[in-house]
Amino acid sequence: MTEILKSWKPSRSRISTSSSAAVTSAPAGSAVAVQRRCSGSDPEFAPTALLHNLKHNKILHEHNVVLTIITADTPRVAEEDRVQIKPLSQHFARVSLKFGYMEQPNVPKALAIARKHGWQFDIMSTSFFLSRRALKPSAKSGMPSWQDHLFIALARSASDATDFFQIPTGRVVEVGTQVTV
């Protein structure tokens, strides 16, 4: 496989394909790097989990997908508007899933809709890469210590992305980073 991500940095790297570098192997199957699109976020940047997997393991799968999950400003999204697929190259694609703010996101069900749009994948040979941030208190945060600890406790009690998006747990790889607050 000669196409890989080019000129990336762990925090803000643009997705681009190039033949200027090589990966050590290309495992069969698909790698889906999940990112949640928040207001102000740029969908042109690669998810942290994809970048860290490339940085530490030096591999890209046979098929790679950047999956962006978007929450719409409407309560529900029609099935025909839920999935958008944009091929980037023979080995890369961008898939956007849109859910209404009243809907419970179900990624496997939405990916089944993507099959109707021509995207071929097998859930049992697909690995989902998710980013996880571990928050650590900082002595120089500018907030009182109790506020740091309260914020960290609330963040830890947030629902797990795997459960929230209903992704099969046996197919998930979580890549973590530590962030001081």
Query: pLDDT of the chain along its 181 residues, tens only?
Result: 223 344 333 333 444 544 344 555 678 889 999 987 754 456 667 888 888 888 888 888 889 999 999 999 999 999 999 999 999 988 899 999 999 999 999 999 999 999 888 888 888 889 999 988 889 888 888 888 899 899 999 999 988 899 999 999 999 999 888 888 8
Query: How many CA atoms does the CB half-sphere of 35 hold within 13 Å?
Result: 21
Residue 23: per-residue pLDDT: 53
The number of folded domains in the chain is 1
Q: How far apart (Å, rounded) are the C-alpha atoms in residues 68 and 173?
A: 17
State the DSSP H helix or E strand holding residue 82, giving kind and residue range, or none if neither. helix 79-82
Q: How many CB atoms lie within 10 A of CB 176?
A: 13
User: Is 107:130 a contact under the CB 8 Å cutoff?
Assistant: no
Q: Which domain holds residue 108?
A: 4-180
pLDDT of res. 159: 86
Residue 172 makes CB contacts below 8 A (sequence gap 6+) with 127, 128, 129, 130, 162
Q: How far is CA 40 from CA 29, 91, 105, 124, 144, in A?
A: 32, 28, 21, 34, 28
Q: What pTM was computed for the model?
A: 0.78
